[in-house]
A = this chain, B = another copy of it.
Amino acid sequence: MNKTKPDFEAFLRKTFQSPLDSIAGFLLKLGITANLITLFGLVGNIVAAYLIARGQLLAGGLVAAFMAPLDAVDGALARKAGAVGKFGAFLDSVVDRYDEMILLAGVLYYFQTQAYTLGVMLTYAALCGSVLVSYTRARAEGLGFSGKAGIFSRIERAVVLILGLVFNQLFISVGIIAILANVTALQRIFFVWKQSKQT
């Protein structure tokens, strides 16, 4: 695979590997499991979505910003516990989708209460693009292809949304996600097509 983009996720993973492992070790001693962290993140995102829906964008953004790294913590915890089970991987992926859907539901409601049609439609497009990025990869992998390609994966989407909430530029953030997530989904379709031609 021709990887020309700087990999933001790999950079974050490398930079925070050591503190993440320390946190994971500490939580492990407390008897906290990876699945528990995953579900705690889900609850946190529901709180963030509720705040956003009420128009408290800064507060919602801060809660979301606190929840986003949990996704890395649960991975580190599962590794440290030596139990990266297949169901754990499945649950982690599915809850990631719920997290995004719930956060964007808050955004959708916020725009809707402002009678902001373009905001509503862009939020819907952002959700569609986001889940298509995940769906194309999952479906590709189920068929034996690789599906990990494209410029705008989950971590970038989370960062852009949180920045938009915290700096009160939600419409711009959602617009960026709507465009780049859908472009990424198309990149993945093209990437799978290229692989199908090679065999």
Contacts and interface: CB of A to CB of B under 8 A. Distances in A.
Interface of A: 85-87, 89-91, 93-94, 97-98, 101, 105, 108-109, 112-113, 115, 117, 120-121, 124-125, 127-128, 131-132, 134-136, 138-145, 189, 192-193, 196
Count of this chain's copies in the oligomeric assembly: 2
A108 B124 CA distance: 9
In the A-B complex, the 10 residue pairs with the smallest Cβ-Cβ separation, listed nearest first, are A87-B196, A141-B142, A138-B138, A142-B142, A138-B139, A101-B128, A131-B131, A86-B143, A93-B139, A112-B120
A102 to B, nearest CB: 9
Contact of A140 (B85, B90, B145): B90
Given A94-B139, A109-B117, A135-B135, 10 more contacts: A86-B143, A87-B196, A90-B145, A94-B189, A97-B132, A115-B115, A124-B124, A131-B131, A135-B138, A139-B142
